[in-house]
């Protein structure tokens, strides 16, 4: 049976070549030696001729490291590609597209380095650099990076220190809305045949507010309709009714949160309640946003309402479960976007 040398690793082939040539030099017939190893008869003569090369000799039979395909980009250029793509927008480099694709990266590489790569090669390069295709988070262009950094480095740490000095608690507040006819997430089905998920024909909607604390405390309530200042005051009264400690409440700058009647109510608490407002267009700084993300990815999102079921009851049931799971609430504070809270 003839053997294919390609089935052996380099080290094994090297040993076979050296032993075969040595046996021939010791007097064995070349044809018998190569037959014993199962290789083609002409192979042994190639090895013998290589070993006779002047100045090389037996070294010609040793394995050498394959050079492989030459690099198209240098290591420094590859690192530059990573810096271009990571956290940047293609439009910053004059490209007419707001998302990174392999074709867009290839275009930028050609512009900057004069090297033309195919999309497959670009995909391999991006994978090598630890970059993967992901659905981007959306951020308002009105965001003020300086205000956000100031909040993380100065404003919030000052709030935390003040609360600790007063023996108060820091809570983060947010509101959200729910609809019974909304189905979140995906399900499997035959290609070209969109699956059908049953939901109530009658539209139901409910709003909810909640407040979370880094120690795992969780408060919530539900209400109908949009939030206005008067309703916000009533919700604050409900939250404060069972509080034994003062509360520093962090929330967004919704107009209803800043009305005069809200300020007047806060003033009547005698310092038991203080409001602090997050920088504009920065909901990712609020861990309570992660509560709503969790609720909308589970619960009614996975188990649509059946006939006769109440959306309000379902949402309250799910929020009540969260209230009994302080470890889950604490986990929301470990997200990278709100890691600044744990640093204080």
Per-residue CA distances from 158 to 172, 304, 344 (Å): 15, 44, 9
What would the two tokens of residue 158 be? 């000052």
Q: Are both 165 and 306 inside the same structural domain?
A: yes
Q: Are both 240 and 295 inside the same structural domain?
A: yes
Buried b (16+ CB within 10 A) or exposed e, 189-216: eeeeeeeeeebbeeebebbbbbbbbbeb
Give percent helix, percent strand, percent coil of the chain, each to the nearest 5.
Answer: 50, 10, 40
Q: Are both 25 and 171 inside the same structural domain?
A: no
Determine, yes or no, domain membership for 169: yes
Q: Provide the residue count of the chain.
A: 344
Domain tally, the chain: 3
Q: What is the pLDDT of residues 79-91, one digit of tens each?
A: 999 988 887 778 7
> Residue 199: phi, psi to the nearest 5?
-145, 165
Distance between CA atoms of residues 133 and 105, nearest Å: 12
Q: Are both 207 and 258 inside the same structural domain?
A: yes
Cα-based torsion angle of the residue sequence 44, 46, 49, 50 in order, rounded to the nearest 10 degrees: -110
Distance between CA atoms of residues 176 and 296, nearest Å: 10
At residue 87's C-alpha, the angle toward residues 293 and 98, to 5°, is 85
Determine, yes or no, domain membership for 244: yes
Q: Are both 156 and 305 inside the same structural domain?
A: yes
Distance between CA atoms of residues 240 and 247, nearest Å: 8
- The answer for residues whose C-beta is within 8 angstroms of residue 241's C-beta and 6 or more apart is none
Determine, yes or no, domain membership for 282: yes
What range defines the domain where residue 26 resides? Answer: 5-61
Distance between CA atoms of residues 43 and 23, nearest Å: 15
pLDDT at residue number 236? 98
Residue 206's DSSP bridge partners are 178
Q: Are both 31 and 172 inside the same structural domain?
A: no
Q: Are both 47 and 176 inside the same structural domain?
A: no
Q: Are both 57 and 84 inside the same structural domain?
A: no
Which segments of 84-217 are extended strands (E)? 169-179, 205-212
What would the two tokens of residue 100 be? 């990174």
Determine, yes or no, domain membership for 195: no
Determine, yes or no, domain membership for 110: yes
Determine, yes or no, domain membership for 289: yes
Q: What is the pLDDT of residues 16-75, one digit of tens each?
A: 888 888 888 888 888 888 888 888 888 888 888 888 887 777 777 787 665 555 558 999
CA 140 from centroid of its chain's CA atoms: 19
Q: Are both 209 and 298 inside the same structural domain?
A: yes
Q: Are both 116 and 207 inside the same structural domain?
A: no
Q: Are both 243 and 206 inside the same structural domain?
A: yes
Residue 171's DSSP bridge partners are 249
Determine, yes or no, domain membership for 160: yes
What would the two tokens of residue 312 be? 């309000």
pLDDT in tens, the chain (344 residues): 556 655 677 788 888 888 888 888 888 888 888 888 888 888 888 888 888 887 777 777 787 665 555 558 999 999 999 988 887 778 777 777 778 889 889 999 999 999 999 989 999 999 999 888 876 655 544 568 889 999 999 999 999 999 999 999 999 999 999 887 665 556 666 777 777 666 555 678 899 999 999 999 999 999 999 999 999 999 999 999 989 999 999 999 999 999 999 999 999 999 999 999 999 888 899 999 999 989 988 866 556 677 778 889 999 999 999 999 999 999 999 998 899 998 76
Per-residue CA distances from 122 to 45, 106, 108, 115, 217 (Å): 44, 6, 11, 11, 47
Instruction: Give the pairing type, strands 273-277 and 247-251.
Output: parallel
Distance between CA atoms of residues 214 and 50, nearest Å: 74
3-state SS, residue 131: coil
Q: Are both 81 and 38 inside the same structural domain?
A: no
Determine, yes or no, domain membership for 51: yes
Residue 251, domain CATH: 3.30.420.10
At residue 298's C-alpha, the angle toward residues 196 and 131, to 5°, is 90
Radius of gyration (C-alpha) of the chain in whole angstroms: 34
Task: Report the candidate in 243, 229, 252, 253 with the shortest Cα–Cα distance to residue 273.
Answer: 243
């Amino acid at each position: 049976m003839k053997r294919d040398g390609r089935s052996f690793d380099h080290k094994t082939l090297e040993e076979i070549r050296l032993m075969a040539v040595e046996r021939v030099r010791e007097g064995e017939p070349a044809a018998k030696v190569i037959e014993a190893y199962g290789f083609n008869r002409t192979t042994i003569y190639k090895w013998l001729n290589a070993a006779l090369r002047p100045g090389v000799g037996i070294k010609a039979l040793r394995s050498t490291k394959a050079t492989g395909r030459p690099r198209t980009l240098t290591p420094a250029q590859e690192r530059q590609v990573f810096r271009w793509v990571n956290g940047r927008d293609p439009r910053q480099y004059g490209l007419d597209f707001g998302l990174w694709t392999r074709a867009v990266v290839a275009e930028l590489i050609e512009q900057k380095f004069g090297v033309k790569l195919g999309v497959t090669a670009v995909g391999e390069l991006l994978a090598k650099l630890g970059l993967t295709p992901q659905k981007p988070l959306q951020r308002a262009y009105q965001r003020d990076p300086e205000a956000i950094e100031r909040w993380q480095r100065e404003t919030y740490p000052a709030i935390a220190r003040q609360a600790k000095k007063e023996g108060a608690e820091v809570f983060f507040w947010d509101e959200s809305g729910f609809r019974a006819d909304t189905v979140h997430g995906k399900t499997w089905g035959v290609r070209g045949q969109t699956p059908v998920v049953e939901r109530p024909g009658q539209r139901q909607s409910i709003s909810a507010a909640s407040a979370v604390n880094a120690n795992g405390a969780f408060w919530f309530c539900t209400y109908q309709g949009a939030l206005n200042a008067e309703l916000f005051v009533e919700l604050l009264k409900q939250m404060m009714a069972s509080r034994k400690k003062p509360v520093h409440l962090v929330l967004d700058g919704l107009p209803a949160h800043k009305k005069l009647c809200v300020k007047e109510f806060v003033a009547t608490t005698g310092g038991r309640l203080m409001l602090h407002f997050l920088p504009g267009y920065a909901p990712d700084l609020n861990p309570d946003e992660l509560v709503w993300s969790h609720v909308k990815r589970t619960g009614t999102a996975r188990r649509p309402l059946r006939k006769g079921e109440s959306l309000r009851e379902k949402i309250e049931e799910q929020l009540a479960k969260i209230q009994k799971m302080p470890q889950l609430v604490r986990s929301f504070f470990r997200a990278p976007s709100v890691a600044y809270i744990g640093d204080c």
